[in-house]
Chain A
């Protein structure tokens, strides 16, 4: 059980922006982005659920695109701008999603939630009028074992609708 990870003596210094804060950390070439975020930058919003890209609990936005941070090496994040659920309060789409998730009870244990929010935010940035099917397609890389998903779909659709109404005004 558990494969060997090749030891690497060399370390690399990387600089990036996480939730609007500049960060410079020294990582080993094998360090996954999720581990650098959690263990070295104290950014604990993204979670480790599977380390194989299946569950999406580690999803963050890298330069605006959803990335499963367990599928990316920290060194690949050099120079990028990363947003997690911790930094989502600062943008309107993120806020709308957070309040809709609460209103519709779209989270239970909360472990998958930061990843869900990242995927949903990417969807709403590109599509302000998503259909139910659009939401299902956008979030199909994020597993939730608690909610049964229906409240999540309702929340994302509601956040989109709130966004459209605010544009109309």
Chain B
């Protein structure tokens, strides 16, 4: 295998730490098997919990009999909703104004609404005893009819999930003008078609885990949990249990992947903490894989109807989008925000479309709740517009790349607020697509396709954008998103001359420790290996928000940069005082503060030590070298990219071979090209999973398929990556997010490539995942109707 250079495209060799592809500080520990995940933490007197879950998609809970379970060895107690009358349903974290909100029940009281909903909790001395006892709990149910699909749930005679919510509709969100009919009148091309963005199971390799440890003597509780948002989790748990927040400590150690699913606030989290407070002992729950498929929030699940009008040259003149989003039986934390704001505002993609009318219905069904999963609404939006562009091009007999170029928002239109309210900060869409077309030999491949007609070759583009780096807080308040839009950083130079950086964001695999050290190193003038980055402990780190929405570098990294610069400035001022020189004559050179035109100097460590002894710190300067920044952005940034997939389709088996995958991404300033490439690869493979293999749609009885088709190492192609670099003005680093791009760009690129291969056969649509069965059926149907 050839290894592509990390510095290519518009990336340049740099003599700073930011921009260097250095390996991760995190790795040594993890490679030696010394990672510390929640499951690895077992405390004295540890108790274990197991949940009893509903086998029915919809039923009344008639009776729960703990008598057999309680008599089993090792069982401490069994708990149902009746035993915790003071605990209400969980309040979602993002409730769009006007939403009819139903949060998750901690334990189902009278009715269960999806397969896997927790009904009771058993606490025992060992995990095995807890499992045995949970199996011995007898629950009597009265089954009710259920509805799984959002279109069925909206239909006239559908059963109601919640008696007080008509039509099972949590909310309907509208953007744009309701003018499609007028705007599309007289258009050369008018099309109507449906798309489905299937439900997915996030599937981090580490399932969820919680270990809550209440100490009755001090009234304090420590909760160990793999959580992307430690401080937000602390507040949410404090509010759910009416537990004083200042006595609550949340520790999120190594997190074994999250992809969004580990930022949500779950029933089990509340139940475990409740049990620990009740029993005065540590209670641990380890979600297992089968349980994960129902207990952890899902992603996507949109059905969309699109109307589009275009001129003969491919210019799109009007778009109407009607999307029905399945939110599951209850609203998970961001359950109603993701399918609305994160879809509707970004559904015009990187295109200047003059007329648009977008509406999204959020619908309750008897399925596990749906929430943010890598991309979180932007994959749905990108899929809608990128499939639409391709469809328009093919119907008009035009090149899909040209149609994109015809519709791009141009550089001179930036910053651009589109008519549905989405904001694009910077973008050179033409340059990025051109680069991708050159690298993938777009024109050459088209020629090859014509020559080798029988090979069923196809090439497809996914030209995504994804607004990220969420903030500011005032905007979040307007949309009912009950989180701050800032991020914290505390930077402290210790007396030995090394530095500590604390951030309220939290890695679940990305490599924050390495990139934050790079950012701080440039500002402080020391090497990254002299910097320790601390995250994931609310008793150490200043109040923060957390990691989601590709916001860590953009918002959290900016906080690190600003705080580090302030420390550096204070340090220089102190050095000048100690050296009895003017500040402007002092500079830091290779770890030594020197005075120009003088041979006086002090080492970085000497100045650090002086700052903390306080023996000679002027009264108008503070003791020590420590600064805290709550970086609060004024706007979000919009990374984008052009992804190109090449496929061949086997006419006999229906199998799709991914011949090549190219990603040219523009995430602005790249802090570490090695880690950025890792993010792109990981995201792309999750996107490949969605396009080709994965389907989290429940079975007819509402249960989840026993296995999820997560891509294996032999199922992924060679991925070539490159960057164009258009720095964002929205933050001091010029950065934009990169964590979610792959998962957003890949599905439309792959489906468009497959349709490119099959269009000559008459295939007009394919539904993800593109399984061999579906591909064969589509070809057969097309041939029959020709």
Contact = CB atoms under 8 A, between A and B. Distances in A.
A binds B: yes
Interface of A: 1-5, 7, 28, 30, 38-39, 43-52, 54-55, 57, 84-86, 88-89, 98, 101-103, 105, 107-114, 117, 132, 135-137, 139-140, 142-154, 157
Interface string B123-146: 000001001101110000000000
Interface in B355-383: none
Contacts of A136: 713-714
Nearest to A108: B509
Nearest to A97: B31
15 contacts: A30-B128, A45-B33, A85-B32, A86-B32, A102-B28, A109-B257, A110-B27, A111-B35, A111-B37, A113-B30, A144-B205, A145-B257, A146-B205, A146-B682, A147-B682
Contacts of B3: 154
A103 B678 CA distance: 12
Interface string B410-449: 0000000000000000000000000000000000000000
Which of A105, A113, A142 has the largest count of B CB atoms less than 10 A from its CB? A105
Contacts of B207: 49
B719 A148 contact: yes
B718 interface: yes
Nearest to A109: B509
B256 A111 contact: yes
B136 A4 contact: yes
Interface stretch (B76-84, B283-291, B482-490): B283-291
A151 B678 contact: yes
Which of A48, A55, A152 has the largest count of B CB atoms less than 10 A from its CB? A48
B134 A2 contact: yes
Nearest to B721: A150
B131 A5 contact: yes
Contacts of B712: 140, 143
Contacts of B686: 145
Contacts of B290: 1-2
Contact of A85 (B24, B31, B707): B31
Contact of B33 (A50, A51, A84, A112): A84
A43 B716 CA distance: 32
B23 interface: yes
B716 A110 contact: no
Interface in B277-306: 286, 288-291, 294
Given A102-B23, A109-B256, A148-B684, 13 more contacts: A45-B32, A47-B256, A49-B289, A55-B205, A105-B677, A137-B714, A139-B713, A144-B205, A147-B682, A148-B678, A148-B716, A150-B719, A153-B1
B31 A107 contact: yes
* Interchain residue pairs A-B with the least CB separation, the first 4: A45-B33, A109-B509, A148-B681, A110-B30
A102 B31 contact: yes
A162 B233 CA distance: 45
Contact of A143 (B23, B205, B291): B205
B581 interface: no
Interface in B149-208: 203-207
Contacts, number: 189
A1 B1 contact: no
Interface string B28-52: 1011111111011010000000111
Contacts of B677: 105, 151
Which of B53, B259, B508, B682 has the largest count of A CB atoms less than 10 A from its CB? B682
Nearest to B719: A150
Contact of A149 (B26, B289, B713): B713
Contacts of B605: none
Nearest to B119: A1
Contacts of A103: 23
Contacts of B254: 109-111
A51 B27 contact: no
A55 B712 CA distance: 9
Given A57-B205, A136-B714, A139-B713, A1 B259 contact: no
B256 A149 contact: no
Nearest to B509: A109
B31 A117 contact: yes
A54 B707 contact: yes
B713 A2 contact: no
Interface in B534-579: none
Contacts of B42: 39
A102 B714 contact: no
A52 B3 CA distance: 34
A140 to B, nearest CB: 5
A149 B204 CA distance: 15
A112 B31 CA distance: 10
Which of A143, A150, A153, A154 has the largest count of B CB atoms less than 10 A from its CB? A150
A52 B255 CA distance: 21
A46 B32 CA distance: 11
Which of B35, B707, B716 has the largest count of A CB atoms less than 10 A from its CB? B35
A100 to B, nearest CB: 10
B205 A112 contact: yes
A5 B289 contact: no
A105 B33 contact: no
Contacts of B685: 148-149
B31 A101 contact: yes
B710 interface: yes
B508 A109 contact: yes
A150 B203 CA distance: 19
B132 A5 contact: yes
Nearest to A43: B33
B119 to A, nearest CB: 10
Given A109-B256, A113-B30, A150 B716 contact: yes
A113 B254 CA distance: 13
A111 B205 contact: yes
A84 B742 CA distance: 32
A24 to B, nearest CB: 20
A4 B136 CA distance: 8
Given A148-B681, A150-B719, A142 B34 contact: no
Contact of B27 (A107, A114, A147): A107
Given A5-B131, A89-B32, A111 B53 contact: no
B769 interface: no
B754 to A, nearest CB: 20
Which of B31, B256, B683 has the largest count of A CB atoms less than 10 A from its CB? B31
B288 A51 contact: yes
A134 B183 CA distance: 57
A21 to B, nearest CB: 13
Contacts of A48: 39, 286, 288
